[in-house]
Amino acid sequence: MPQLIKIAGGTVYDPANGIDGEVRDIWFRGGTIVEPPGDQSAKPDRTIDGSGLVVMPGGVDMHCHIAGPKVNVARKLRCDERRSPEAVLARGRGTRSGSLGSVPSTFATAYKYAGLGYTAAFDAAVPPLGARQAHQELADTPSIDKGFYVLVGNNHYLMEQIAKGEPQQVEAYLAWLLTSTKAYAPKLVNPGGVETWKQRGAGHSTGLDDQVPHFRITPRQIIGGITRAANALGLPHPAHIHCNQLGMPGNWRTTLETMQAVEGQRAHLTHIQFHSYGGGDGEEATLDSQVAPLADYINSHPNLSVDVGQVMFGNTTSMTGDGPLGYYLRNIYGDRWYSADTECEAGCGVMPIEYKNKNLVHALQWAIGLEWYLQVDNPWQVVMSTDHPNGGSFLAYPEIIRLLMDRTYRRDIIATCPAGLRQRTELADMDREYTLGEIAIITRAGPARLLGLASKGHLGPGADADITVYTPSDNQAEMFELPRLVFKGGELLVEQGEIRTAVVGQTLHVAPHYDTDRLVDLPDWFNERYSIHFENFAIAET
Amino acid sequence: MSPTLTTCTACGATCDDILLEMREGRVAQAKKACPSGEAWFATPVAEQAAMALIDGQPVALDGTLDDAIAQAEKILTQARHPLVTGLKQATTEAIRAAIALADNTGACIDWTTSAADASATLALQTVGAVTATLGEVAQRADLVVLWGSDLATTHPRHFERYSLEPSSAWLPNGRADRTLIVVDDHPTATAERADVFIQISPGSDYEALTTLRFLGTAAGRASSDAPNELQDLAARMATASYGAVIYGARLAADGPESLAELTQLMADLTATTRFVAIGEGGPGNATGAASALTWQTGFPLGVSLAKGYPEYGPGEWTTEALLRRREVDAVMIVADDLNMQVSSEALAPLGSLPTIALDWRDTETTRQATVAFRVARPGVETGGTTYRCDGIVLPLRGAVDTSRPSAESILQEIAERLSKNQD
């Protein structure tokens, strides 16, 4: 029988079970949290002294880019970042070597997530045709549980069926697609807008009611059709939406319309920071924060949730399934540009990017991100993310926690930004400070619930023994960047920055039930349009 | 027995609709395969009874590979500067295992055998790339420019599958709805299929690409100094709905400059239309080798793991450079006939070094190896995956049972033994 282990006397933050900083014992055996034995004299096989330490469930990153074709191209593109000895990880006992930079190698990604106390992470944008590569990369990403969302917002079959008014066909195909690619959730990226870019090139508007050429459909219809199908299938995370017009001044209206377009159904809007801009007509100089009206809508619509996509100052790499956005950024930054279209499915843009605190637009993006955390009343509806590596690395999470928990520190950073910031955001006047319990929600309990991961993000009996133990500090960034202990499935992964084991995590995916008879024509449809054979599409191998 | 669907890696078209019919353990027929593909599937597997050779002598007649694996392990243990190379005809699974072994032994690992192999990567790192999967070309490209590429000869099914004949909602009449322009320095079989053939002088690819970029500017349009054919091409490119350039190996031969210029041309054109560039691709799984090396180490080629962590050295830790400079003291060659690919200067030191070769073929490389493993043939005797040149990963399937181990299983076993002995 596996060992019975007790973490004794830690200060436990387990918001899913209503525990907000109580001194308690956590018991686990064989990878699962168990009830404390009723018999007071029962002894564990091993006791870990948690007194004076903070105990939380393992972190869950619900939106990052860690695997798949565009991530790997970004690694190739950014070899320039990894030339210094600080940018590499040496191999160790039982661990592989790797390299860091804004887009770390797979093994390094896993060890760094584990080292941060995160035990699950989800890549947010894999084209269906890239699924096989994404699985290969995730197989080389040990330690943590992981998965990916598959791109559907510009999928030819879905657009045709939605245009025809065939909701059951949309459902069957969506279920088939998730099953075939072994994906965890459907992801919409600039719905309809990527297809428009493929047909018309740059500079065409893709507001919610603009027609997608040839397909006779609008982004609004795509959003509605896929969100309905995903909810009808009962998917654990029905719709993960990257709205149209990312980064464009004045895009907040499109974001608000998107929130309305899901018609009260469950949906998640991702990296919302990039979609909350006032100003007009592509004029960057007019940019300002429009978080308030959008956060108001979230606050009154419990069906909706967001992750932030926080921008942090420094060098990073932008990567997106939004091809036209890539070209837009290329024209702003003028550095190396990678663009790739994937047949029948998606686009892709990758480029180096630097966010500078002295740049008013960048400072405003940073502030808008923080506003989002501070303006959503219910922390269960807002999730921490940097859209790694787009806004910054996931390694910045401890720093974001400090910015949220310490308003004095937050104001110190605001003071380094251009004075014009004050006219465009109310961040400096916001007094709210997050508590540790609220941090536990936005970094683990909340994302786990939004992903429908019943055994993650909490410490109740039956939960996975994914546990992070921190040493408290007045400097919250220091507290969160170097956990005392990290357990994954009951195994000690990391102890004070030292990797103890690199157990193989699972790749999580869904396999919803659907009516296979509805898809009898799909092989012919597929073989007429794709450059690969239908039978080679589904992932058979593990 | 019903035929087995598999993928052909004889050329960069990577056709994934091949139906293998087997008879007595051999490929009787490879349906849908072109003549190159038929020849590829008819390539004889190494027939000796032994699963391994040590110094050319059969071992493992009893079916156990212990002696050969011990010998390979000894070579790697004694080596101070081993090189792991080949990989171009390996499955992605074998490549992953080879990188793990290189990490474990502090080896250099690389898949290139020439400067040209590295050009597309180096161009990407300089300016990026503007590209697409081949299905986009099939579906949308109303203008196809083949640059230094004789697909009709080297990739016999490329036209049928991707670049010329497919019809779609946007190109209902297939070939008739496309314009094919061939740019080359000599007449080719492909040029005969073209709507327009532009013959440029040898060595002038870079200049022609620069001219096309200039012709896309206001100053360029106002000037009439450029050759008429290039003016005509620039005008056609600017007015295409979705254009595709498919480039051949020559564009990469002298380094990344021409490919970088091509990418810049694609980026310039994006201001007014859509244009993408895709390599014609070579045989095998070089794309997969670069890909797996990148995700595991962060670097696509020429990786040294000697210091315990990955370092990147194109031209320094690439196969040709390491062999020429005699900087390695043992070489492991995975699934490729290195002898046929590197220069004679690089080949010279190889003869005096201990080498470990894994292949399903009987080649110069396996015959000269200190230890040679005859592994199962991917796509015929065993499964796996391979990368098409546009990055799409395709399954290879085994059509027949074999007792021979896969390359990855041997690599994993060597790595395990090395790890045990380190403890």
CB contact under 8 A, A98 and B297: yes
Q: A interface mutation test: which of B131, B133, B412 has the most A CBs within 10 A? A: B133
Q: How far is A269 from chain B (nearest CA, A)?
A: 28
pLDDT at B46: 72
Interface test with B, best of A133, A530, A542 (most B CBs within 10 A): A133
Query: What is the domain class of B44-112+301-422 according to CATH?
Result: alpha beta
Helical packing angle, B205-215 and B228-239, nearest 10° = 60
Q: Is the CB of B385 less than 8 angstroms away from the CB of A541? A: yes
What is the C-alpha separation between B172 and B166, in angstroms, rounded?
A: 9
Distances (CA, A) of A461 to A29, A33, A118, A242: 10, 5, 20, 35
Span B328-378, pLDDT tens digits: 999 999 999 998 899 999 999 988 999 999 999 999 999 999 999 999 999
- Residues A358 and A417: their CA atoms lie apart, in Å, by 6
Residues of A with Cβ-Cβ distance to B296 under 8 angstroms: 96, 98, 105-107, 140
Q: In what order do the strands lie in the sheet containing A267-269?
A: A59-64, A118-126, A145-151, A185-189, A240-242, A267-269, A304-307, A382-383
A136 with B292: Cβ contact below 8 A: yes
Q: Which residue of chain A is at minimal alpha-carbon distance from B288?
A: A133
Return phi, psi of residue A212, to 5°: -80, 120
Q: Are B166 and B176 in contact (CB under 8 A)?
A: no
Q: Look at the block and give the residue holding tokens 């390299």.
A: A99
Torsion, Cα A310 A311 A316 A321, to 10 degrees, reads: 60
Residues in A touching B272 (Cβ below 8 Å): 201
Are A75 and B295 a contacting pair at CB < 8 A?
A: yes
A residues 348-387 closer than 8 Å to B (CB): 350-351
Task: Note whether B296 contacts A106, CB cutoff 8 Å.
Answer: yes
Query: Does A531 contact B162 at a Cβ distance shorter than 8 Å?
Result: yes
Asked if A341 is an interface residue toward chain B (Cβ–Cβ < 8 A), one would say yes
Secondary structure in 3-state letters for A119-157: EEEEEEEECHHHHHHHHHHHHCCCCCEEEEEEECCCCHH
Q: Which of residues 129-168 of A touch B (CB under 8 A)?
A: 129-130, 132-133, 136-137, 140
- Contact between B309 and A89 using a beta-carbon 8 Å cutoff: yes
The three-point CA angle A34-A94-A486 to 5° equals 35
Burial of A38 (C-beta count, 10 Å sphere; 0-12/13-18/19+):
exposed
What is the complex's ipTM, to 2 decimals?
0.97
Domain A56-456+463-499 -> CATH class: alpha beta
Where exactly are the structural domains of chain B? 44-112+301-422, 117-279
* Relative orientation angle of helices A219-232 and A167-181, to the nearest 10 degrees: 70
CB burial readout A517-538, b (16+ within 10 A) else e: ebbeebeebbeebbbbbeebbb
| pLDDT of A541 | 57
Instruction: List A147's β-bridge partners, or say none.
Output: A122
- Alpha carbon separation from A455 to A6, A27, A54, A122, B123 (Å, rounded): 19, 15, 20, 16, 46
Q: Following DSSP, what letter does each residue of B282-294 receive, concatenated? A: -STTHHHHHHHHH
The CA distance from B391 to B363, in Å, is 28
Contact B128 A338 (CB under 8 A): yes
Closest residue of chain B to A133, computed from CA coordinates: B393
Which amino acid appears at position A144 of this protein? I
Three-state secondary structure call for residue A114 = helix
Q: Which of A91, A327, A343 sits opposite B133 (nearest CB)?
A: A343
Helices B407-422 and B66-78 meet at what angle, rounded to 10? 60
Phi and psi at B310, nearest 5°, equal -75, 135
Across B185-326, where does the E strand assignment appear? 196-199, 242-247, 274-279, 303-304, 311-312
Using alpha carbons, select from A149, A144, A151 the residue that is nearest to residue A123. Answer: A149
CA dist A246 to A215, A346, A369, B32, Å?
Answer: 22, 16, 14, 45
Whether B285 contacts B387, CB under 8 Å:
yes
Q: Could A76 and B7 be called an inter-chain contact, meaning their C-beta atoms sit closer than 8 Å?
A: no
Neighbours of A504 (CB within 10 A): 15
Most B-contacting residue of A103, A343, A504, A528 (CB-CB within 10 A), to test interface: A343
Which CATH number applies to B117-279? Answer: 3.40.228.10
Helix or strand run (H / E) with residue B386: strand B384-387
- The DSSP code for A466 is -
B5 CB neighbours in chain A (<8 A) are 533, 535-536
Tell if the CB–CB gap between A535 and B103 is shorter than 8 Å.
no
User: For an interface test with B, which of A140, A339, A541 has the most B Cβ atoms less than 10 Å from its Cβ?
Assistant: A339
Nearest to A531 among B133, B241, B296 (CB): B133
Residue A242: count of CB within 10 angstroms of its CB: 30
Distance between CA atoms of residues A316 and A403, nearest Å: 20
pLDDT digits (tens, 9 = 90+) for B18-69: 999 999 888 999 999 999 999 999 988 876 668 899 999 998 777 789 999 9
In a mutational test of the B interface, the residue from A73, A76, A141, A160 whose CB has the highest number of chain B CBs within 10 Å is: A76
What pLDDT is recorded for position B49?
Answer: 63
CA B27 to chain centre: 24
Residues of B in contact with A112 (CB under 8 A): none
Please name the residue of chain A whose CA is at the shortest distance from the CA of residue B397.
A536
Q: Which residue of A has its CA nearest to B15?
A: A532
Q: What is the pLDDT along chain A (542 residues), one digit of tens a residue?
A: 889 999 999 999 999 999 999 999 999 999 999 999 988 888 999 999 999 999 999 999 999 999 999 999 999 999 999 988 899 999 998 899 999 999 999 999 999 999 999 999 999 999 999 999 999 999 999 999 999 999 999 999 999 999 999 999 999 999 999 999 999 999 999 999 999 999 999 988 789 999 999 999 999 999 999 999 999 999 999 999 999 999 999 999 999 999 999 999 999 999 999 999 999 865 667 899 999 999 999 999 999 999 999 999 999 999 999 999 999 889 888 889 999 999 999 999 999 999 999 999 999 999 999 999 999 999 999 999 999 999 999 999 999 999 999 999 999 999 999 999 998 999 999 999 999 999 999 999 999 999 999 999 999 999 999 999 999 999 999 999 999 999 999 999 999 999 998 887 999 999 999 999 999 999 999 999 999 999 999 998 54
For chain B, list residues with pLDDT below 70.
47-49, 423
> How many other β-carbons are positioned within 10 Å of the β-carbon of residue B57?
8
A478 CB burial (10 A radius; 0-12, 13-18, 19+): middle
A99 touches chain B (CB under 8 A): yes
Hunting for tokens 């090139």 — which residue is that?
A201
Contacts of A202 in chain B (CB under 8 A): 270-271
Distance in angstroms (rounded) separating the CA atoms of residues A401 and A443: 9
pLDDT score at A333: 84
pLDDT of residue B339: 87
Q: Among A97, A108, A129, select the one facing B103 at the smallest CB separation.
A: A97
- Which helix (H) or strand (E) segment is A269 a member of? strand A267-269
Nearest to B272 among A75, A201, A338 (CB): A201
How far the first Cα of chain A sits from its last, in Å, is 29
CB A303 within 8 A of CB A267: yes
Cβ within 8 Å, pair A201-B273: yes
Q: Do A75 and B290 touch (CB under 8 A)?
A: no
Nearest to B125 among A76, A83, A330 (CB): A76
Could you tell me which residues come within 8 angstroms of residue A48 by beta carbon, excluding any fewer than 6 positions away?
A: A5, A6, A7, A8, A469, A485
Domain boundaries, chain A: 56-456+463-499
